[in-house]
Amino acid sequence: MTHHNKKIATNFCQIELQTPIVLLSGCVGFGNEYTRVEGYSNQDIGAVCLKGTTLAPRLGNSPHRIYETPAGMLNSIGLQNPGAKTVVEDILPTLNFNETRYFANISGSTLEEYGEVTKIFDQSPIDAIEINISCPNVKKGGAAFGNDPEMSARVVEICRKNTNKPLITKLSPNQTDIAKNAQLCIDAGTDAFAVINTLMGMAINIENQTAVLGNNQGGLSGPSIKPVALLKTHQVYQVCKTHNIPIIGQGGINSASDAIEFLIAGASTVGIGTALFSNPLIAPKINQGIIDYLDKHQIKHINQLVGTLKLNTT
């Protein structure tokens, strides 16, 4: 598994990634979809996050599920997936683990479900487990686990009890204090963070005064959320840097310069999602742009760029 440039190969939770690019959950299905694109190579990416997986199979939300917005996209898929056991038994064997790393992405509507799904993936070749804590907690009247720091930590805690694989907690921007949430998740045993999950949004059809999405609201992704994602990445990095906890920075990355901004803000890897829908072959372009930037600024390795943001003093 060699990549053409050592400068951008990086170690993430003791996992060797050939490039800093992680393809985000829900954007490449269960890992086989994008390998069908002509000219695509798994060697251009460090890891693939598989589609969100629950304990039982789910059909997801009624349509419409996706809606294009200015500088972004709303999605409300509703975690359509065949269930964790099917993913492990039928899908993982079809993936080539020699080409890139694969991360599971898990969801639950109860703490117990998170624990069960983690246990299933623990007995699999998956490299790491990303926890989607932005799911509704059925026992708490549908309030998202991820918007309450205490509940977030309890999700991490139950997942930690069920695996020794690296845990990546995907933090929600829809909360008041993301840094506090990060600290409690570190205390509960997370190994890494993905910052940020989507912002909540809505679209309205003015002709018949209805919500466009079948679920009324959905997650907003794409360039429009990048400034929010950068700030949240910087805030979480303040908590992570003393614990040596890596961050996958994500939210609207569309170019090498976008990716570099996230690295400077404190992310050590970068997640690409919505950009893949308009350009499935964006990864090699971003890798090359990062390499060119490192060369231009005489930086030997991508790690030396992480968290170098100089704040203005007032």
User: DSSP secondary structure string, 51-113?
Assistant: EEE-SS-B--PPSP-EEEETTEEEE-----B--HHHIIIIIGGGS-TTTSEEEEEE--SSHHH
Q: Which residues are CB-neighbours of 39 under 8 A, at least 6 positions away?
A: 281
Tokens of 86: 């099917």
Tally Cβ neighbours within 10 Å of residue 177: 10
> DSSP labels for 189-219?
T--EEEE--PEEE--EETTTTEESSTTS-EE
- Per-residue pLDDT of the chain (314 residues), as tens digits, is 444 689 999 999 999 999 999 999 999 999 887 778 888 889 999 999 999 999 999 999 999 999 999 999 999 999 999 999 999 999 999 999 999 999 999 999 999 999 999 999 999 999 999 999 988 888 888 888 999 999 999 999 999 999 999 999 999 999 999 999 999 999 999 999 999 999 999 999 999 999 999 999 999 999 999 999 999 999 999 999 999 999 999 999 999 999 999 999 999 999 999 999 999 999 999 999 999 999 999 999 999 999 999 999 98
Domains of the chain, first to last: 6-60+77-203+221-305 (3.20.20.70)
Query: Residue with structure tokens 């639950």?
Result: 108
d(CA 233, CA 178): 9
Q: Going by C-beta distance under 8 Å and a sequence separation of 6 or more, which residues neighbour residue 289? A: 255, 256, 257, 259, 260
Q: Quickly tell me which residue has 């064997």 as its tokens.
A: 93
Q: Which of 27, 135, 159, 185 is catalytic?
A: 135
The DSSP letter of residue 142 is: T
Tokens found for residue 105:
């992405």
Closest-CA residue to 104 (of 11, 112, 114)? 114
Confirm whether 13 is a catalytic residue: no
* 8-state DSSP, 14: T
Longest dimension (CA), the chain: 57
* 289: nearest Cα among 249, 264, 266, 258: 258
- What's the Rg (C-alpha) of the chain? 18
Closest CA to 107 of 98, 97, 116: 116
- Say if CB 179 and CB 238 are below 8 A apart: yes
